[in-house]
Amino acid sequence: MASHRRPKQPSRARMSVFTVSAAAAVAALTSQAAQADPQASKKDVKAKVDKLYEEAEGATEKYNGAKDKQKKLQKQVENLQDGVARGQEELNEMRDGLGSMATAQYRSGGVDPSVQLFLSSDPDNYLDRAATMDQLTSKQAEALKKVQGKQRSLAQQRSEASDKLKDLAETRKELGDKKQKIQGKLSKAQSLLNTLTAEERERMAKKQERADRASSDRVDLGNDSSSSSRAAAALSAAKGKIGSPYVWGATGPSSFDCSGLTSWAYQQAGVSLPRTSQAQANAGSRLGQGELAPGDLVFFYDDLHHVGLYAGNGQILHAPKPGANVRFESINNMPFMFGTRV
């Protein structure tokens, strides 16, 4: 006959042993995890910071494009406003001439009704209203047509200037938004860095310094020749800026972002390049990696947000990212898209 006795419950002493053992096991695992966390956390922080820096650089090139557009719009607005001012002066002189004509007519026996009509109404509608009048002389008609043409031209220029001013206001807002986006990413990166200990941050900084020094001290550029004297001159100018810090939106001569360095370098060679990396990509003939020669432009990432100068032997010279200086680096450290020969 089967037994129906209740199973024997573990004693209080045995439960205590189990509890202590489980607690010890959890403590051991926690201790191991704690010992592994700092290194894992440091790598994770660095990866996130590098990603934020890359995103900030992409935003910087968009900012550079908007800033370049703002500069061009500002110049166009100034030219239009100057043209309107000069045109108004010319119109005033024409009107003075008509006034003199009216005065002469008055002295000789009365003002021509057509001139009276012009002087007392909107000149833009004058000719239509004066068409039925026979009193217009050829000289008067010519003068009035010139005034009317000048008024229409001024109205068109004022309208164009107004449109450009609206574009300028929108571009300035766009600049502010992009600047805020960049600063937000850089601020987030700094906040992540602040989660590391002072010792960890110092180690990261020293590693960055070693990378900057190694790029200029021990790099082998081989014996490749530039494709042109301007490419050689641009690369030579950029070499003179090794060690200069990366600063977003900077175009030299003491700090640069990526496209700021390439545009500045080619400017020293007498060549004007567009401001952004994306625009510079269309400034010459495209090349594959095996066709590159020192001084050629090299572009990275799908959206072409990074550009540098090919230096030879698989090395590029560029302004890498915030916290890093202008330096040589392997072309394989980033996703290469193509090169451009200016």
Residues with active-site annotation = 258, 306, 318
Q: Which residues contact 142 (CB under 8 A, 6 or more apart)?
A: none
Helix runs in 108-136, H state only: 113-119, 126-130
Amino acid at position 287, single letter: L
- Indicate the burial class of 302 (C-beta count within 10 angstroms; 0-12, 13-18, 19 or more): exposed
Cα dihedral 317, 220, 215, 238 sign: negative
Q: How far apart are CA 31 and CA 54, in angstroms?
A: 35
- What is the SS3 assignment for 276? coil
For CA atoms 308, 310, 314, 319, give the dihedral sign.
Answer: negative
For residue 109, give every residue at least 6 positions away whose Cβ sits within 8 Å of its Cβ, in sequence order, or none: none
Distance (Å, rounded) from C-alpha 242 to C-alpha 265? 12
Q: Which residues contact 4 (CB under 8 A, 6 or more apart)?
A: none
The order of strands in the sheet holding 327-330 is 285-287, 336-341, 297-300, 306-312, 315-318, 327-330
